[in-house]
Structure 1
Amino acid sequence: MLNPSTLKPLSSEDAKLVRDTFRDAEYTESRLRERSGLLVPPPAELTPGGVVEAFQDSDSAFDCLAQLFFLGREIDVVAARKVLPKGLIDCFLRSGVIAERYQSLTPKVLLVPVEDVWLASDLQVLRDHSHKDYVPTVCDAALHLASVAVRQPTKRMLDLCCGFSLHGVLASRHAESVITSDLNPRAAAFARFNAALNECQDFTTVTGDVFSAVKGKKFDLILSNPPFIISPEAVTTYRFAPYELDGFVEQMFRQAPDYLQHGGIFQAVCEWVEIAGVDWQQRLQTWFEGRGCDVWVLTANRQLPSTYAANTLRQSDTDADQLPDMIANWEQYFSKQKVNAIHGGFIFLRRRDGDNWFDVSQLTKPIRSQIGDAIVRGLDNRDLLYGRYADQDILNSRLAVTRGIRIVEDSIYNGIRWESETMTLHVDCGIPVSIGIDKYVRNLIARYDGQRIVSDCLADFANHVGLPMDTGVAQGLEITKAMIRTGVLGIVKENLENRILASRVGLTGTPSQNSFSN
């Protein structure tokens, strides 16, 4: 049975006591992962025995906190009072995060560390997942969105479909004001609690469907982890999309531009379908036509309907005996709807006047760090790549190799010297990719030092490899564009606008400096 919402926001003094206790006990992401191998709390019904045993030391404040608020298990009150600071348990009782009965402390919520904050949510209990008012704990999708979220200083931020407001709380570090919105009133209670716990300023919670609670407002940054799972039931919960197929996220994206300031960014993690006989990229593009936004789709996976059904249903409380019939029902539904596959990933919008672009790229490696700055660079790079005068603008720009690039080379000794067999370029800081390259690509990349314009670097490259100038520049330019798109090369912004302006003047017939001069 889902617990009624009895959470009370902490006073400033109590919030400080909780934060100080968590820090002193090292109740952190890194230590939880080190001890259990997990960052996401496991369902109570499916917690592996080894994970339970990992937190059995009742003499440790860390273990007491982990058992209560990560695993959601009751602990002995006497043992807890011995290791936890004076007044903490009474603070927890007052706020409604635990209950005391029969000499035991029973958690009413989870309190999970993410980065440098702690966030309350409902207990991770499978039987509660289908309840319309359930507020889930942190999950992989939410962490993935946090990893790509833009973290630059901003005025007004919206956490849409916020749940317990992970993204709103994290954004409060760099946003002047934060609004969190969710259809579920219980989510607002958790968001207010989490804002108080983490000392968030100018933090407002509202309740409504999609954008209905923020009509007339515009934002510089919107983050959303909406209900996106596609199923035959189409039930309205935190997890399952309430419309047919991907209709809910389509509606959300069609409305989003109206709520973005000029230059504002919308970032969402979601899923969408691939319909038989329909180009899925063109289908997505129609959602944004004429809406005044650049669109970057970053795909992470593509699943066949049978695989998608099995993976999704195994994460629910479906009875094992019923699972085959449920999977068959989902497969029949997808077949009837002519769904070939389900894609998952991120979709980023940025409000901008002028000729807007639409780009799709593939995420090929897991994201291991926060890369919000790389997302901003990726948007800027695509402005250069897809502008009206793209090639000329690139030729008149200055580029530099992005920080954190590695080249790993496998060589074989031929009896006289070492010869390179394979060469792989790895992007470690930013959107992680691995690209097979050769010595010519390496040679070209090395020329981008941020000092010379691209046309000069390409001319130097053509001379070095012994290609005719026109051929070397043309081939080098295509390689350069690919490296910009993958984030290997980035724009040096100083004087970029002047160089672009100069190139456009030249294109209109006014004399300009030769692109290939020194």
Structure 2
Amino acid sequence: MRVSDLRMGFVERLRDHLLESGYTIDGVRERLGDTAAAALSREELVPALRATTGGDPLAVLIRLFWLGASVPEVPPAVRDSGLVSLVDGAYRSTVHLQPWESDHYVVSDRKVRPGDPALRTDHVVGAGGASGNLAQLVTRRPVESALDLGTGCGVQALHLAGRASRTVATDVNPRAVELAELSWRLSGVHGVEGRVGSMFSPVSDERFDLVVSNPPFVISPGGRLTYRESGEEGDGFCRELVRQAARHLNPGGQAHFLANWMHVNGDDWRDRVGGWLAETGCDGWVVQRDVQDVAEYVELWLRDAAEQGTAAYAEHYDRWLGWFEAQKVEAVGFGWITMRNSGSLDPVVRIEQMTQQVELPVGDYVDDVLDAIAVAHRTLDLDSARLVLVDGVLDERIGLPGAEDPSRIVLRQTRGLRRSADVGTVEAALAGVCDGELAVGPLLNVIAELVGGDRVHADQLRPLIAEGYFTLA
């Protein structure tokens, strides 16, 4: 099936039938119920099959396009779509077609489940957890132009549809671009152009206001699946993605990537990833959200390809671990990388580990996070600056009952990234009185006299500004 071979009328008829039948996120959830939906998240199909036995239009669509089951009859809009085949008197979908947000649809290859044949090398995976994580990270500000690099099934371009006037979506896999185009057409989304090619080659001379990528970041010994493995050595693809992104960003433009990076014995992962950003000229923010030891990592991606229980499982597992050992890799980090072309001759990069739950979507306030990092780094004279406490910051004091002074004071954010920071009595007192009326230097002098102890220099507040506890008035 080639999307270009599908006449627009057939696509429009199929979309109308999907919507009229209630094949939407809410419609599917309501039809399946909590128990079947929870079982489906564990790849257990029986409860969902029991919930869709009626033969009505919605039941047929769920069985056909979501569960991958055969059905005896389909309506003309489905039969003529080119997305089903007739085998032994029953209809079977050739794709996985799932409802998405805002009455959108995502088309990919059929979901792989234990016992299925090995994946084809150009398999196109559907929207999953990583897709959702990236969508939550991307800035919500409207842009004129956007690039979705490694579009896969096209889901990120759908998220950008309401915010970008024009989007270019690329993938090294021609089948991915074909299915992504069908996703956009079925979703009624216009203004997206699909192109085939690796990395930035399809847009070699172009710049964008926004670049997003859920790249083939899996670190493996020469993997064969294009949707997750690039063939580059180690984490080299993510490194080159970061290094090349700057030349494709307009002034003020942002890039948001998911990435994996190696934890190599004897090296600090922060130095490794920081080195990727060092010569880009962009401000950068790197967050490590999870770390897996090499065995956990290999098991995760063997499960992803439904290799558990196959004859080759142990061989692939052992070869992968041996490759990690040869590279002196002890663990793999997963997280996000954000860049902004600030135009500064003094770019700043912040690298941190963050395992706490954060307020979603991060894209609602990621611009404020980048601003805070830049302000903390570039404000030359903090003594004369006027600060205010950011909304949602609490002062928590911990100590023995009856003690005159707390043993620990914590500033805790109840919104945004929900960070917490141990502070001294001077910083805590400043948090209680700074309202933007007086400059920081004089305030710190008065507080030092009242609480005693050494005076805190204004420059010592830079980490608290960078982390969003204080901001300039």
1:189 equivalent in alignment to 2:178: yes
Alignment pair present for 1:136 and 2:136: no
For 1:332 and 1:312, locate their aligned partners in 2 and report how far apart those are by CA, in whole Å: 16
Counterpart check, 1:124 vs 2:111: yes
Q: 1:271 pairs with 260, 264, 271, which one?
A: 260
- What is the CA–CA distance in structure 1 between the aligned matches of 2:391 and 2:233, rounded to whole Å? 42
Q: Distance in 2 between matches of 1:54 and 1:144?
A: 31
Q: Corresponding residue for 1:330?
A: 320
Separation in 1, partners of 2:239, 2:72: 49
The alpha-carbon distance between structure 1 residues 413 and 428, as it changes in their structure 2 partners (threshold 3 A), is closer
| Contact 1:377 1:490 (C-alpha < 8 Å) held by counterparts | no
Greater Cα offset, 278-287 or 454-463: 454-463
- SS at structure 2 position matched to 1:217: coil
Question: CA 1:165–1:366 in structure 2 vs 1: closer, same or farther (change >3 Å)?
Answer: farther
* 1:14 and 2:13 correspond: yes
Whether 1:71 aligns to 2:61 is: no
Q: Give the SS at the match of 2:301.
A: helix
> Take 1:29 and 1:484, find their aligned partners in 2: how far apart are those partners?
45
Deviation at 1:91, TM superposition (A): 2.6
Counterparts of 2:400 and 2:385, CA distance in 1: 40
- In the alignment, does 2:425 pair up with 1:481? no
Partner of 1:285: 274
Q: CA deviation at 1:273?
A: 1.0
Gaps of 5+ in 1: 81-88, 493-518
Paired with 2:30 and 2:400, the residues of 1 have a C-alpha distance of 42
Partners in 2 of 1:442 and 1:63 — Cα distance? 59
1:248 CA displacement = 1.5
Give the alignment of 1:407-418 within 5 angstroms.
none
- What is the SS of the residue equivalent to 1:249? helix
Aligned residues: 467
Q: Contact (CA 8 Å) 1:378, 1:487: kept in 2 or not?
A: yes
User: Structure 2: which 5+ runs fail to align?
Assistant: none
Equivalent pair of 1:399/1:491 in contact (CA under 8 Å)? yes
Is 1:201 aligned with 2:201?
Answer: no
**Within the alignment, does 1:112 sit opposite 2:124 as a pair?**
no
CA separation in 1, counterparts of 2:322 and 2:55?
53
Alpha-carbon distance between aligned partners in 1 of 2:77 and 2:394, rounded to the nearest angstrom: 50
**Cα distance between partner residues in 2 of 1:174 and 1:40:** 35
In 2, distance between residues paired with 1:368 and 1:21?
Answer: 35
Q: Which residue of 1 aligns with 2:236?
A: 247
Shift of 1:462: 3.8
Q: Which amino acid aligns with 2:353?
A: Q
2:54 is matched with: 58
Normalised to the residue count of structure 1, the TM-score between the two structures is 0.78
State the Cα deviation string for residues 148-201 of structure 1 (Å, max 9, x = none).
011211010000011011111111101110010001111112222222222323
CA distance change for structure 1 residues 365 and 325 in 2, over 3 Å: closer, same or farther?
A: same
* Aligned pair partner of 1:178 in 167, 170, 195: 167
Q: 1:121 corresponds to which letter in structure 2?
A: S
> Which secondary structure state, in structure 2, belongs to the residue aligned with residue 201 of structure 1?
coil
Distance 1:440 1:125, change over 3 A: same
Q: Higher mean Cα deviation, 215-224 or 284-293?
A: 284-293
Deviations 1:5-59 (A, max 9, x none): 68737548537625643768653697699735869976xxx72256535733537
Whether the 8 Å CA contact 2:274–2:351 is kept in 1: the answer is no
The DSSP-based 3-state class of the residue aligned with 2:156 is helix
**CA deviation string 1:433-476 (max 9, x = no partner):** 4556788765443434456554465456445x5135xx3443x7
> Could you tell me how far apart the structure 2 residues matched to 1:454 and 1:242 are?
53
1:486-511 CA-to-partner distances (Å, cap 9, x unmatched) read 3344455xxxxxxxxxxxxxxxxxxx
Task: Name the counterpart of 1:362.
Answer: 353
**Partner-residue secondary structure (3-state), 2:263:** strand
Q: Matched residue of 1:386: which SS?
A: helix
- Partner of 1:27: helix, strand, or coil? helix
Structure 1 residue matching 2:417: 3-state secondary structure: coil
| TM-score normalized by the length of structure 2 | 0.84
Confirm or deny: 8 A CA contact 1:274 1:341 kept in the other structure. Answer: yes
Where does residue 90 of structure 1 map in the other structure? 76
Residue 447 (str. 1) matches residue 443 (str. 2): no
1:155 match: secondary structure: strand
CA distance in 2, matches of 1:193, 1:266: 26
1:360 & 1:135 partners in 2: Cα distance?
32
Q: 2:25–2:101: 8 Å Cα contact kept in structure 1?
A: no
The alpha-carbon deviation at position 217 of structure 1 amounts to: 0.6
In the alignment, which of 34, 43, 57 is matched to residue 47 of structure 1?
43
| DSSP 3-state at the match of 1:119 | strand
Whole-angstrom distance in 2 between the partners of 1:132 and 1:438: 56
Classify 1:319/1:473 alpha carbon distance in 2 versus 1 (closer, same or farther; 3 Å): closer
Q: 1:165 to 1:393 in 2, by over 3 A?
A: farther
Q: Which amino acid aligns with 2:331?
A: A
Q: 1:396 aligns with which of 348, 366, 385?
A: 385
Q: What's the CA shift for 1:66? A: 3.6
Give the AA of the match of 2:48. Answer: V
CA contact under 8 A between 1:399 and 1:453: conserved in structure 2? no
SS at match of 1:287: helix
The question of whether the paired residues in 2 share the 8 Å contact of 1:6 and 1:96 is answered with: no
Is the CA contact (8 Å cut-off) linking 1:385 and 1:481 kept in structure 2?
yes
**1:394 positional shift:** 7.5
CA separation of 1:208 and 1:241: change in aligned 2, threshold 3 A? closer
